[in-house]
Amino acid sequence: MPVVVIANPKGGVGKTTLATNVAGYFASRGRAVMLGDADRQQSSRLWLGLRPAAARPIATWEVNAGQIVKPPKGTTHVVLDSPGGLHGRHFDSVIKLAGKVIVPLQPSVFDIFATRAFLDQLAEHRHAGKMQVGIVGVRVDARTIAADKLREFVEGLGLPVLGYVRDTQNYIHLAARGLTLFDVAPGRVEKDLAQWRGICNWLDQ
C-alpha cells in the first residue's frame, strides 16, 4: 500500500495544499485513499470536513497522540500531511512508513537552508533506501531571481524536481469548498493541472 508523506520542517510552505491535492488525485483515479493529518492545526482534517458528499470519497486516517493508526483493509493509498518542526520520535514514526516523500520548497533563502538540513536528515534515516524523495517548488514565479536561486539549489541535490506550483487563488477557492484541482472541470484549472503532470507521473510510478 503506497504511503505518501508530505514533509518539511518549516511551517507555511504549502504542505496541506499538496497533501489534499495528492489525495484528490488518487481519488480521481478511483483509489481507496485515506488522508491523515499529523499537524496540530489539523488543517487537512478541517478540509475533509468541508468536502461535499458528492465528491469522490477520501477517508480520514486517524492520528492520536503521535501514534499513527494502521489503515483498515481495503485502503489502497495513504497520504500523510506532516507538521512543521517534524523531528525526533515523531519524525522517525512518520518517515519509516513512507514509500514516497514529497518535500515542498519555496523560493526563499530561509526555506532553502531549513530544507537542506531536513533533506540531509532524510538521507541519513535508516529507511532511506526504501523510500523515494521528490521536491516540489511552491508559490514559484518562474520569471523571478528567487526562482532562479531555487533551481540552482535543487539542481545540486541529486533529487528529482517533480514540478513547480504557481501561486494562484485556485487552490484557496477550492480548499474552502473541500475540493482539489481534480474535482472540477479541467478547463477551469488547465494551467495548474499542467504543472501537476510531473507530480502525478511520479506518484504513479
- Residue 67: the pLDDT is 55
- Residue 70: the pLDDT is 65
Alpha helices by DSSP H, listed for 56-144, are 88-95, 109-124
How high is the mean pLDDT of the chain? 86
- What residues does 163 pair with on adjacent strands? 136
Tell me which of 181 and 8 has the higher pLDDT.
Answer: 181
How far is the C-alpha of 181 from the C-alpha of 63, rounded, in Å?
Answer: 26
- Residue 66: the pLDDT is 52
Whether 200 shows a pLDDT value over 60: the answer reads: yes
pLDDT band of residue 9 (cuts 50, 70, 90) is: confident
- Residue 103: the pLDDT is 94
Q: Quick: pLDDT tens for 165-180.
A: 999 999 999 999 999 9
Q: Quick: pLDDT tens for 32-44.
A: 999 987 766 778 8
Comparing 21-25, 54-58, 120-124, which segment has the lowest mean pLDDT? 120-124
- Residue 60: the pLDDT is 85
How far is the C-alpha of 48 from the C-alpha of 45, rounded, in Å?
Answer: 5
Angle at 64 between CA 175 and CA 33, to 5 degrees: 45
Torsion (CA) 187, 80, 142, 12 in degrees, nearest 10: 110
- Residue 86: the pLDDT is 65
For residue 58, CA distances in Å to 50, 116, 149, 167 come to 12, 32, 37, 25
Whether 47 shows a pLDDT value over 80: the answer reads: yes
Contact 180, 33 (CB under 8 A): no
Q: Quick one: cell of 28?
A: 480521481
Domains and CATH numbers, the chain: 3-204 (3.40.50.300)
Q: Quick: pLDDT tens for 126-175.
A: 778 888 999 999 988 878 887 888 888 888 888 888 999 999 999 999 99
90: amino acid identity, one letter: H
How far is the C-alpha of 23 from the C-alpha of 78, rounded, in Å?
Answer: 8
- Residue 65: the pLDDT is 45
Mean pLDDT, to the nearest integer, of 68-97?
Answer: 75
- Residue 30: the pLDDT is 95
